[in-house]
Amino acid sequence: TKRYDKGLAKSRKGFGAMLNSLLANFRSVDEDFFEELEETLIEADVGFETAMKISDELQEEVKLRNAKRKDDVSDAIIERLVDIYEAEGQDEDNTLHFAKEGPTVFLFVGVNGVGKTTTIGKLAHRYQKEGKKVLLAAGDTFRAGAIEQLAEWAKRVNVDIVTKPEKSDPAAVVYDAVVKAKKEDYDILLVDTAGRLQNKVNLMKELDKIKRVITREIPEAPQEVLLALDATTGQNALTQAKQFKEVTDVSGIVLTKLDGTARGGIVLAIRNELHLPVKLVGLGEKMDDLRDFSPEEFVYGLFK
Ligand code: GDP
């Protein structure tokens, strides 16, 4: 739980405190209690559907266990929240996948401003520290300044980068990067892309082309297609995710700026409504502020 302490301070004061106060004023598990619980969950961006699900399941469980004491109810809530992540039949794989041999490729998608570039920088730093040979590909050739921004990160964390001038074909940048990664034995290639949801057909074509270029050189790549979502945008993040799912195969979510919201419940909504695993969370702007997502640490972090 320590690792989440700082980054979850806001959600702990918001979402966590609301749940704790609900439990503190707890007298009996009656209708009012569950109504208040639903309101609290919705308030925390858990989403209507997910809030109802948690509440319904909890009512069952409280009955089943004959839970009357505050601690029992509190335990049941915590377990439900964690269980949302481990529900049967769902892909419960929160981990990142790597190539057994040769370069691993992660493709990053998401709209402007969600924290894609920053996440790539943080992840590059992580792998560089682990002694891996890291290459970045500046595939967002559309947004002004995106190439430069990624190049700055490359310099800051001391990894290599492949760039082309603004407005170049992103697939051409990615091609150069993949060839370089293969030839020069890089362990991992992190690919930035432009996330223009305004034109879904074009975005779909662009991402398809990028993927084809990668797969042609490395058949089992990309190992991950990671969609970055900004936790502070709440239900909008869910809408974005639904749209991206229509455009490309997303393998996991990077939930950024979790430190910037008091409504950390969005994590649960993503899991329950999109059936996509949150694999990484951003807990700040610095290079060390990226964590692998752990449901237990997250939920316990809220209640501490
Ligand atoms: P991109 O357009 O998706 O590449 O987004 P950027 O990486 O440029 O990030 C947009 C802004 O969000 C920048 O000011 C980042 O410093 C900030 N940012 C990114 N991730 C996080 C995070 O986890 N926490 C906080 N507080 N800020 C973040």
d(CA 260, CA 282): 10
- C-beta of 259 in contact with ligand 1 (< 6 A): yes
Q: Is 109 helix (H, G, I), strand (E, B) or coil?
A: strand
d(CA 250, CA 268): 17
Average pLDDT, the chain: 89
Share of the chain above pLDDT 90, in %: 57
pLDDT top residue among 177 and 196: 177
Instruction: State pTM to two decimals.
Output: 0.91
Closest Cα to atom 6 of ligand 1:
115
pLDDT top residue among 36 and 83: 36
- C-beta of 284 in contact with ligand 1 (< 6 A): yes
- C-beta of 121 in contact with ligand 1 (< 6 A): no
What is the best residue among 256, 278, 281 to mutate for testing ligand 1's pocket, by most ligand atoms within 8 Å of CB?
Answer: 256
Kindly tell me the sign of the dihedral angle through the C-alpha atoms of 60, 61, 66, 72. negative
Q: What is the mean pLDDT of residues 214-233?
A: 96
Residue 157: predicted pLDDT: 97
Q: Which range has the worst mean pLDDT, 130-134, 167-171, 178-182, 262-266? A: 262-266
- C-beta of 195 in contact with ligand 1 (< 6 A): no
What would the pLDDT profile of 48-83 be if each residue is shown by its tens digit? 888 998 899 888 888 888 877 888 888 888 888 887
pLDDT top residue among 20 and 90: 20
Q: Which range has the worst mean pLDDT, 15-29, 96-110, 258-272? A: 15-29
- C-beta of 125 in contact with ligand 1 (< 6 A): no
96 token code pair: 């990142």
ipTM: 0.99
Q: What is the mean pLDDT of residues 124-150?
A: 96
Q: Which of 177, 272, 261 is nearest to 7 (CA)?
A: 261
| Nearest ligand 1 atom to alpha carbon 111 | 3
Residue 89: predicted pLDDT: 45
Closest Cα to atom 27 of ligand 1:
285
Measure 109 CA to ligand 1 centroid, in angstroms.
14
Question: Which residue has tokens 């509440």?
Answer: 55
- C-beta of 118 in contact with ligand 1 (< 6 A): yes
| Nearest ligand 1 atom to alpha carbon 122 | 20
Measure 25 CA to ligand 1 centroid, in angstroms.
38
Q: Which range has the worst mean pLDDT, 63-77, 86-100, 137-151, 260-274? A: 86-100
DSSP 7: T
In the annotated binding site for GTP, the residues are 110-117, 192-196, 256-259
Measure 92 CA to ligand 1 centroid, in angstroms.
27
Residue 208: predicted pLDDT: 95
Measure 116 CA to ligand 1 centroid, in angstroms.
7
Q: Which range has the worst mean pLDDT, 70-84, 97-111, 233-247, 283-297? A: 70-84
- C-beta of 271 in contact with ligand 1 (< 6 A): no
pLDDT top residue among 5 and 73: 73
Read off the pLDDT band of 1 (50, 70, 90): very low
pLDDT top residue among 102 and 199: 102
Read off the pLDDT band of 91 (50, 70, 90): low
| Nearest ligand 1 atom to alpha carbon 260 | 26
d(CA 124, CA 192): 12
d(CA 214, CA 189): 11
